Each structure stands twice: as structure tokens, then as C-alpha cells.
Amino acid sequence: MRQLFLAVLLSACPAVLPDIDAGPSVNPSFKHAHNDYEHPRPLLDALDAKFESVEADVWLDSSDIGVSHDGAPFKGSLKTLYLDPLAQRVAANGGSVHGDGKPFYLWLDLKQGSAGLQNQLATQLADYAFLTRFDDAGEAQPGAVTVVLTGDAAGKKALVDRPAPRPYIRDSNDFSTSDPPADGKWGYYAVNYYSFMQWDGAGTIPTTQRKQLENLINGAHANGRRIRLFSNPDTAAYWAAAKDAHADFVNTDKLAELAAAFTP
């Protein structure tokens, strides 16, 4: 029985990733508002805290797109909560969200894989000229806001198979060192923290866990992709470790605390 218990325990441990060099350059770490719509003022609270990335869960709502975690009742529509306010912000700030010329990311978590949601999303996003456009070769027409599709695998893959140029790109919720290089369809990862890590975010990150985190992030970068970890410990110790390892997006529900931690 003890041997069976040990076998089950070991099988649940994430595999150790091979050492991967960071390469000659590293990406900046962006503050990412997980489930941003749950805050008192969706988008606006994150913008006030100078976040560079927000996430909205989207559903088909008749002939519109609703935002919420579990479907109706919705917090509001994608247009009213995010697209229109971002358009106004970009216009007022000289072509960028924060007026500094730096990128901003809108992650759309597809909670359904339906053709109806895909069609409505493609139609709505096409109307906004400030969004980054992508082609099949991996070339981008940079915009003030980059939309990253996450969530339903079939839905986001179907959307990036539509004709280019497309006002969005997708992620993968799985990572492997054998993944092909990034292209104009798949440029990001969003992976569950505990699929690769065991540290609970308390105290100082153990050396072996720090190396595992670095190898995961370096592996994504080696493929030409940016990476976001979710379901991570939402602690100051984790935020510091993720930033030190050059995670592209540091995921939090604690806007003010993370903003303070990132302040020089």
C-alpha cells in the first residue's frame, strides 16, 4: 500500500524541465489583471493601477458578447466594458492606452466554442482599428491593444484559421519543449502554474523550483512566445520570483498590491 501511495504521489509531481538558456534578450514583465471584470470598475481599476494586461471571460449573449465568469447575468458587454473604453482611451492618449507608446493586452477567455460566439467576436473586433492585426506568416501590424484568445481550444483555433489579417492571436494552455515556433496564429501560452510548479508562494522560492520556473519561461521564449501562468500563488514572494524569472505576465487578483510591488 505504501508503495502504491508513493507511486501515485510521484506521478502527480510535475516533470522536471530541461535547462533552457534565457538567450540574449528577455521580455519585460507586465501586470495582468486576472478576471478583471470582477473588480468594482472593470478595466478602469486596472488602468488606474497602470496594468498593461486584463482578462475578460466572454459568452454569446443573443446577438452580443457578454462578460462574466459563469454566464448570465452578465457584468456587461465586451463593447461597453472593454472595447469602447479602450478606443476612447487610445484616442485621448495619442495612440496608446497609457500614453507612453507601450503595448497593452486584452485576453479574451472563450467560455464557449460555439460558431455563434466566434462569428460575433470576429465581427465586433474587426470594427476597431486600434487592435494589432496578424497574418499567417507571423507579421504583425502593431496596434495599441493586442487581443489574445484563450479558453476554449477548438474555438480559438477556429478563429485564427479565418482569413488574415486578423485582429487577434491565440495562446495554448499546454506547453512542451517540442512545440513548433510561434507564427501569426499562435503566439502565447497560458498554463496552469501547478502543472509545472509545486512551490506555494510562501517564503523564499526553493532553488530547484526557481530553476523550474526559469526553464518554463525560457522554453516559451525559445519558441518565440510570451507566457502567462494562472492559478498561481497570489503572493508578493511569487510576484517577485515571476518577475525575476522574466515571466511576461504576472497574474493577480490584487491590483493595488501588485502595482505597489512593481513600483521601483
Distance CA 103, CA 100 (A): 9
Q: Is residue 148 part of a domain?
A: yes
CA-to-CA separations, 70 to 27, 35, 101, 173, 189, in angstroms, rounded:
33, 12, 35, 20, 23
Structure confidence by residue, pLDDT tens digits, 188-220: 999 999 999 999 999 999 999 999 999 999 999
Residue pLDDT tens, the chain, 264 long: 444 443 433 346 788 888 877 665 567 899 999 999 999 999 999 999 999 999 999 999 999 999 999 999 999 999 999 999 999 999 999 999 999 999 999 999 999 999 999 999 999 999 999 999 999 988 899 999 999 999 999 999 999 999 999 999 999 999 999 999 999 999 999 999 999 999 999 999 999 999 999 999 999 999 999 999 999 999 999 999 999 999 999 999 999 999 999 998
- What residues make up the domain containing 172? 28-258
In this prediction, residue 192 carries a pLDDT of: 98
Distance CA 22, CA 44 (A): 34
In this prediction, residue 20 carries a pLDDT of: 76
Domain count along the chain: 1
CA-to-CA separations, 18 to 196, 211, 212, 256, in angstroms, rounded:
12, 9, 8, 35
Give the CATH number of the domain where residue 86 resides.
Answer: 3.20.20.190
In this prediction, residue 27 carries a pLDDT of: 74
Distance CA 167, CA 124 (A): 10
In this prediction, residue 26 carries a pLDDT of: 65
pTM: 0.93
Alpha helices in the chain (DSSP H): 2-12, 44-48, 78, 84-92, 115-126, 153-160, 207-222, 236-244, 255-262
Task: Please give the helix or strand (H or E) that residue 82 lies within, else none.
Answer: none
Q: Is residue 1 part of a domain?
A: no
Structure confidence by residue, pLDDT tens digits, 145-187: 999 999 999 999 999 999 999 999 999 999 999 999 999 999 9
CA-to-CA separations, 31 to 122, 181, 227, in angstroms, rounded:
26, 25, 12
DSSP per-residue string spanning 107-171? EEEES---HHHHHHHHHHHHT-TTB-EE-TTS-EE--SEEEEEEE-HHHHHHHHTSPSSBS-EEE
Q: Is residue 170 part of a domain?
A: yes
Q: Is residue 15 part of a domain?
A: no
Contacts with 174 (C-beta within 8 Å, 6 or more apart), sequence order:
191
In this prediction, residue 14 carries a pLDDT of: 84
Distance CA 252, CA 233 (A): 9
Q: Is residue 22 part of a domain?
A: no
Residues 53-70 as b/e (b if ≥16 CB within 10 A, e otherwise) read bbbbbbbbbeeebbbbee
In this prediction, residue 24 carries a pLDDT of: 53
* Residue 119, all three cell numbers: 462569428
In this prediction, residue 11 carries a pLDDT of: 42
Place of cell 486596472: 46
Cβ–Cβ < 8 Å for 90, 130 = yes
Q: Is residue 161 part of a domain?
A: yes
Q: Is residue 54 part of a domain?
A: yes
Which among 170, 231, 222 has a CA at the least distance from the CA of 196? Answer: 231
Q: Is residue 6 part of a domain?
A: no
